[in-house]
Amino acid sequence: MTAVRTYAAVDLGASSGRVMAGRVGPGALELTEVHRFPNRPVRVPEGLRWDVLALYGGVLDGLRAAGQVDSVGIDGWAVDYGLLDADGALLGNPVHYRDRRTDGVAEKVWATVPAAELYAATGLQYAPFNTLYQLTAALFTAQFPYAERLLLIPDLLTYWLTGEQGTELTNASTTQLIDPRTRDWAYGLAERLGIDLGLFAPLRQPGDPAGVLRPEVLEETGLAGPVPVTAVGSHDTASAVAAVPATGERFAYICTGTWSLAGLELDAPVLTEESRAANFTNELGLDGTVRYLRNIMGLWLLQECVRAWGEQDLENLLREAATVPALRSVVDAGDTAFLAPGRMPERIAEACRTSGQPVPGRRPRSRAAFSTRWPSPTARPSRTPSGSRGTRSTSCTSWAAAPATPCCAS
């Protein structure tokens, strides 16, 4: 009789993280959310930063809650990274992709490599926070000369768990430094732009071993070793798309979180000028695939409004919103005016006022206790993945967490 195995799937989003326990047996998969924790960026004098230590603490708490597991995998949002010094120590909190440091940087990059040529080489859509632009902004900071290694966020937490460094391919493809045709670094492009690819750890494929939990991690979580950590599709969208229960090759997907992503899974990238003009992106997926998609503003405006209004009950807020006449005013959620955090209700009102539409009134600040409620799949029924696109050959089923709740919060 085949034994039931348990996998811990760590899923990090831009507003929260969670640890899922996936129990896999003959013809069945059972998912349980064992821990959820907030992801709250912090504004300091030098800009907006991720509280990555709090995230790591949430991961450890989740592994402790999961109990004994057979493997661990981590996925998360894209483009952001941590810098390590020669001793492997973190050089400051990672910069948030919504930080203003990349303002005007794209134009400087395009002066060396025009936008059309950049797209033809990497297939990545323009976004002001792509890793390439972040790195360009960081090159001449006082911190950067001390950096010996760059790890994307899921790889950074994997390193802290195992002591081993790597760069998982699906997330690396969002840096705008990967050639989607070769599925390797775009060496010539990086050289022209003065980017040292030696900063990156060796590329890993989804399914590759990523080490075992360090003794200190085993002690803190109460797990018995050895517990392997497996590289998964560490860009959360890659894991989500791998879990789409499609029965054929012709399917589309919509992944919703802080960002929403709509697209297709293809066998090869689309690098035409028409594709660039439409701002489609080519990100690498599992099993040699390409995620051809558009990034769309997702729940970001709602999340920021809830944060500005204070501690609101999300379910009650949505019920109240449903009683208001729809489409009295319409704003472009993808406008760059809404990209940065802070003052979101006021900025929406300003956009309505500027466009001559009815201006929404102020919402009274709640005096109730904090009660933001999220869907919690703590008692999900067993699923039978056979015959679906969700049955991938990855060693650890971190992607299995994807269908439980909206996850693509890159």
What is the set of active-site residues? 236
For residue 209, give the H/E element and its range.
strand 209-212
The C-alpha torsion from 219 through 221 and 222 to 227, rounded to 10°, is -90
Q: Which two structure tokens, joined as six digits, stand for 351?
A: 């956009």
CA of 378: how far to CAs of 18, 22, 404, in Å? 12, 11, 10
CA of 337: how far to CAs of 22, 301, 340, 341, 344, in Å? 40, 11, 7, 10, 10
Q: Which residues contact 120 (CB under 8 A, 6 or more apart)?
A: 271, 276
CA–CA separation, 366 vs 46, rounded Å?
32
Which pairs count as long-range contacts for 340-344, CB under 8 Å and 24+ apart, including other chains?
A: 340/98, 340/100, 341/41, 341/48, 341/98, 341/304, 341/307, 342/304, 342/308, 343/308, 344/301, 344/304, 344/305, 344/307, 344/308
Confirm if 139 and 196 have CB atoms less than 8 A apart: no
Tracing tokens 């991720």 back to the chain, one arrives at: 50
Beta bridge partners of 7: 22, 71
Phi first, then psi, for residue 374 (nearest 5°) are -120, 155
Q: Which residues contact 359 (CB under 8 A, 6 or more apart)?
A: 329, 349, 352, 353
Furthest C-alpha separation in the chain: 68
Q: Which two structure tokens, joined as six digits, stand for 139?
A: 């090159």
CA–CA separation, 110 vs 3, rounded Å?
55
For residue 48, give the H/E element and its range.
strand 47-49
